[in-house]
Amino acid sequence: MGNASAPFDVDLFVIGAGSGGVRAARFSAGLGARVAIAESRYLGGTCVNVGCVPKKLLVHSSHFHEDFSHASGFGWTVESTHFDWPTLIANKNREIHRLNEIYRKLLLNSGVTLHEGHARILDPHNVEINGQRISAANILIATGGWPQKPEIPGAELAITSNEAFFLPQLPRRVIVVGGGYISVEFAGIFNGLGAQTTQIYRGDLFLRGFDQSIREHLRDQVRGKNIDLQFNADIARIDRQADGSLAATLQDGRVLHADCVFYATGRRPMLDGLGLENTAVTLTDAGSIKVDENFRTQEPSIHALGDVIGRVQLTPVALAEGMALARRLFSPEEYRPLNYKLIPTAVFSQPNIATVGWTEQEARAAGHKLKIYESSFRPLKLTLTEDTQKTLMKLVVDADTDQVLGCHMVGDDAGEIIQGIAIALKAGATKRVFDETIGIHPTAAEEFVTMRTAV
């Protein structure tokens, strides 16, 4: 076994029981290592407690509003509806608590020792937790990230995703600030639940890094849902009003009134009180822990992965990194460096976005001659309703090799559809393979195998 070494209390001490840390700990224990893990806040980390899982539950809740309005076209009369935020939050909390306990059992059943408290590195082989000193052959930093707010007057009056999941009431008017996927998702959640929602972003268009057609299509769909999108705008200060509400003064002098200002303007690596000064670990220019392709820091016994290394900040990536590290340390013959190519991803905006592979802009910049296939249509389900929302599908194809380089979608269940397409792209599918695939009718997904004419 890799680094197992008797003079140490454990072979691996993991700091942070989030997606990456738990996976690395359990997998390492499964490979026979003696493993301990520390968690200072919540078992399961960001994803389970204040990230992917509760967010998706809130997204589900916010869709009912539209479903009720569609129902009449299908012959249903929905007499009256009422939404109760405290019920949603209480039910969500119960489910998250259940998941926390599942994580506890998974760790204990796999033989990992759990320490609940803040861990601090004392030196390259020693960690302190709850007044106890534990020596380790290897230390893994998997401490994740933390939401950031800008340093403007009144920033303390604003919330982040950490607090949004526990608000006592649904605010009547919300300003969401940011242009990344979390801001787009929360604007959709608040709007769908009935809050008057404004989204402010300092750039020209949200979702930088996504395909331009997808960004523009989503912008138009979101505008159709009454979210007040304000691009090229930013908040200069926030003030509490006499009636308890907030006044957000924009840089151009305009004042917007709201009951909640929500910042989703990025996350910083969580390094607070970690004791990195006692090690040779170095940081990147962006402040993330610097690692090589094998998750090694500058300190040979200390490794890092997940959001804290600032690479691809997604749960499935942290899970894959955790498994890769466990193999490298405790089953080196099975180890392969992780392949970061073709990672599919979804944005649970309304409608959803999902994407895998290159955007048209990236592929052109890399010098590919392209054929672009694009289709925009009204989904069958909406044809009996007043809803004018449209689905967009796009394939980016290399004109010389016929290989499909990227696949992008805006529309219901985009994530469910693109997950399957990602397998095809991983297998190197050409457009011809897409064309030879028989569709499933009637679905939206069949459009991906029936687009024949390049635009």
Ligand X SMILES: Cc1cc2nc3c(=O)[nH]c(=O)nc-3n(C[C@H](O)[C@H](O)[C@H](O)COP(=O)(O)OP(=O)(O)OC[C@H]3O[C@@H](n4cnc5c(N)ncnc54)[C@H](O)[C@@H]3O)c2cc1C
Residues tagged active-site: 441
* Paired tokens of 210: 């996504």
Would you give the distance in Å from CA 55 to the centre of its chain?
10
100 binds ligand X (CB under 6 A): no
**Which residue among 11, 59, 144, 276 contacts ligand X (CB under 6 A)?**
144
Q: Is 315 in the site for ligand X (CB under 6 A)?
A: yes
Distance, in Å, from the CA atom of 63 to the CA atom of 221, rounded to the nearest integer, reads 15
Which is nearer to ligand X, 140 or 363 (by Cβ)? 140
**Residues between 43 and 72 that touch ligand X (CB under 6 A):** 45-47, 51-52, 55
Which of 307, 360, 412, 447 touches ligand X (CB under 6 A)? 307
289, 308 Cβ separation under 8 angstroms: yes
Q: Measure the CA–CA gap between 272 and 27, rounded to whole angstroms.
A: 27
Cβ at position 16, least distance to ligand X in Å = 3
Q: Of 124 and 316, which CB lies nearer to ligand X in the complex structure? A: 316
Which listed residue (19, 28, 61, 355) binds ligand X by CB under 6 A? 19
What residue is closest to ligand X based on CB?
A: 18
Q: Interface with ligand X includes 391 (CB under 6 A)?
A: no
With binding defined as CB under 6 A, does residue 415 bind ligand X? no
Taking contact as CB under 6 A, which single stretch among the options 2-10, 138-146, 195-203, 240-248 is the one that binds ligand X? 138-146
User: What is the SS3 string spanning 229-275?
Assistant: EEECCCEEEEEECCCCCEEEEECCCCEEEECEEEECCCEEECCCCCC
Measuring CA to CA, which residue among 411, 401, 417, 426 is closest to residue 449? 417
Q: What does the angle CA 40 – CA 44 – CA 49 come to, to the nearest 5 degrees?
A: 90
Half-sphere exposure of 109 (CA within 13 A, CB side): 6
Which residue lies nearer to ligand X by CB, 17 or 407? 17
User: Which residue stretch of 34-42, 206-214, 353-361, 395-403 sits at the interface with ligand X (rule: CB under 6 A)?
Assistant: 34-42
Binders of ligand X in range 267-306 (CB under 6 A): 270, 274, 306
Residue indicated by tokens 């990025």: 266
312/423 Cα distance (integer angstroms): 19
Q: Looking at beta carbons only, is 113 or 361 nearer to ligand X?
A: 113
C-alpha atoms less than 13 angstroms from C-alpha of 193 in its C-beta half-sphere: 26
Please give the single-letter amino acid code of residue 46: T
φ/ψ of residue 304, rounded to 5:
-150, 145
Instruction: Please state the closest distance from residue 284 (CB atom) to ligand X, in A.
Output: 15
Q: Is 217 in the site for ligand X (CB under 6 A)?
A: no
In angstroms, the first-to-last Cα distance of the chain is 56
The reply on whether position 14 binds ligand X by CB under 6 A is no
| 192 belongs to the binding site for ligand X (CB under 6 A) | no
Under rule CB under 6 A, how many of the chain's residues touch ligand X? Answer: 36
Q: Give whichever of 352 and 389 is closer to ligand X, judged by the CB atom.
A: 352
Rounded-to-integer distance, Cα 2 and Cα 36, Å: 17
CA-CA distance, 302 to 299, in Å (whole number)? 5
Chain residues in the site for ligand X (CB under 6 A): 15-21, 38-42, 45-47, 51-52, 55, 118-119, 142-145, 161, 182, 270, 274, 306-308, 313-316, 318
